[in-house]
Amino acid sequence: EQLERLQQLERLQKLRQLQQLERLQQLERLQKLQQLQQLEFLTLDYRSLEIGPEDVVYCDPPYTGTGQDYGGFDNESFQHWLANCPAKQIYISEYTQLPHTEVAFILGKKLSFQAKGERPEELLLKYVKD
């Protein structure tokens, strides 16, 4: 009888631990959901954005050396903007490594029905501030 009570007590303790774990996991999921709800995705001209130090920035400018500037993209102005952007995490999609960047990830070859010939691998670059 005493052994049975001890076993019941152990099962009860395990059940309580499991319930606490489930509540903790629910709380973690809720916190992640709240963080996701705070995300803001913007598709704008980079010069129009108000960016803070904690923001994560992803840039997809016209690729260097492809002959496409999409209406007068100024790469020199973009480089100046990158150097002065307050964000600590800036990522850029590009075919060639730009000054002040390191390769964060090799994305592979981009597919396009309009592209002719062999395309280089697309890189995800992380901007590194001096």
For 65-122, write each residue's pLDDT tens digit: 776 666 778 888 999 999 999 999 999 988 888 888 999 888 887 666 565 666 678 8
- Co-location of 4 and 19 in the same domain: yes
How far CA 12 is from CA of 6, 7, 26, 91, 113, in Å, comes to 10, 9, 21, 51, 63
* Nearest one of 89, 88, 77 to 45, comparing CA atoms: 77
Q: What's the structural domain count of the chain?
A: 2
- Co-location of 63 and 30 in the same domain: no
- Co-location of 35 and 50 in the same domain: no
Containing domain of residue 123, as a range? Answer: 46-127
Enter the pTM of the model: 0.62
Cα 13 from Cα 116, distance rounded (Å): 67
- Co-location of 94 and 73 in the same domain: yes
- Co-location of 120 and 91 in the same domain: yes
3-state SS, residue 115: coil
Over the stretch 49-69, which tens digit does the pLDDT of each residue have? 889 998 889 898 888 877 666
- Co-location of 29 and 58 in the same domain: no
- Co-location of 51 and 111 in the same domain: yes
Q: What is the DSSP string of 30-98?
A: HHHHHHHHT-------GGG----TT-EEEE-PPPTTSS--TTT--HHHHHHHHHH---SEEEEEESSPP
